[in-house]
Amino acid sequence: MKAPRVTDTTLRDGSHAMKHQFTREQVQQIVQALDAAGVPVIEVTHGDGLAGSSIQYGFSGTSEMDLIETARQSATRAKIAALLIPGIGTRQELREAAQRGVQVVRIATHCTEADISEQHFGLAKELGLETVGFLMMAHMRPPEFLAEQAALMESYGADCVYIVDSAGAMLPDDARARVRALKERLSIQVGFHAHNNLGLAIGNTLAAIEAGADQVDGCLRGLGAGAGNAPTELIAAVLDRLGINPGLDVFALMDAAEYVVAPIMPYQPIPDRDAITIGYAGVYSTFLLHARHIAAEFGLDPRELLVELGRRQAVAGQEDWILDVAVDLAQAKQRVA
């Protein structure tokens, strides 16, 4: 195994848990702590990426462009990254983010929709940015299919493509097989982004590294959506024990998690009942509240509704489908009765 590059996404994925209310002061403190600890890339944006601040996704307390600018001013060594989801963020926001100091853009699509990212990769290259592709909800498709999608991103100009376990649904063999498929197909780097819904964020990250992952992600204290992400300080400790520490200060990251991030966290993300259900079902966390309300109307357990949605491979944007699936399940129960 070789030492991977670690990107910390506390200030992006952690924005979900913070209801997108990070302040300039908090960004400055977190970036300075991560930078001093040797973290080479720090991601800063709304949880749903550039232009995510909206009634649909939740309004930011402080403009993400201001947070990006603060992050760039606070880092002495680390690169500042931003997430962009085509359809939410546009080329206009990408241009402004670059002007404010972003050096790396991570362009994220559903794992079947890499083709919608071509213009965004093209502009990012024109702006001189490092480019990373994100294949979200990657548990939903087999390794060979994902490799084809990743190859599209490579052809558009990606410098790296990530397998993204958005629902925290993967097991170590799933992570290993997907990363390996991309390593065999691509001539660029491969990354892995874990969530902890099944308690496997660190295990899956290690499996990805064993399969050759060049880049991995973490969040201080695991602060992220759902059950959170692989904790950056844990990644550092484990890599150090394995003898492949890429230059991270383990103690400094432990202190950053304990004394900088923990005091501002509204709660500690854990694999609780809801998070486990999302990982077990393999669906987006946005389905959870809808499933609860609709299941109550039909006398269903929301977990069985979510599992059925996962079986039918529902994706974000199909929340209206929950009602149809609930009707099907309720009718099936009536027939059995």
Kindly list the catalytic residues: 16
The DSSP element (H or E) to which 11 belongs, if any, is strand 5-11
| Calpha distance 244→241 (Å, rounded) | 8
Beta carbons within 8 Å of 106's beta carbon, 6+ residues apart: 43, 81, 82, 83, 84, 132, 133, 134, 162
Query: For 8, how many CA atoms within 13 A lie in the half-sphere containing its CB?
Result: 34
| Calpha distance 287→320 (Å, rounded) | 10
| Calpha distance 115→112 (Å, rounded) | 8
For the beta carbon of residue 201, count every other beta carbon within 10 angstroms. Answer: 29
| Calpha distance 269→337 (Å, rounded) | 40
The runs of H, that is alpha helices, within 170-301 are: 172-185, 201-210, 232-242, 250-255, 273-281, 287-298
- Find out whether 13 is annotated in a ligand binding site: yes
For the beta carbon of residue 311, count every other beta carbon within 10 angstroms. Answer: 12
- Find out whether 120 is annotated in a ligand binding site: no
Beta partners for 195?
229
Beta carbons within 8 Å of 308's beta carbon, 6+ residues apart: 325, 328, 329
- Find out whether 156 is annotated in a ligand binding site: no
Beta partners for 191?
162, 215
- Find out whether 293 is annotated in a ligand binding site: no
| Calpha distance 168→307 (Å, rounded) | 14
Residue 187, burial from CB neighbour count under 10 angstroms (0-12, 13-18, 19+): exposed
- Find out whether 162 is annotated in a ligand binding site: no
Q: Where is the binding site for substrate, in residues?
A: 12-13, 166, 193, 284
Q: Can you say which residues are annotated as belonging to the binding site?
A: 12-13, 166, 193, 195, 284
Which residues fall in the annotated binding site for Mn(2+)? 13, 193, 195
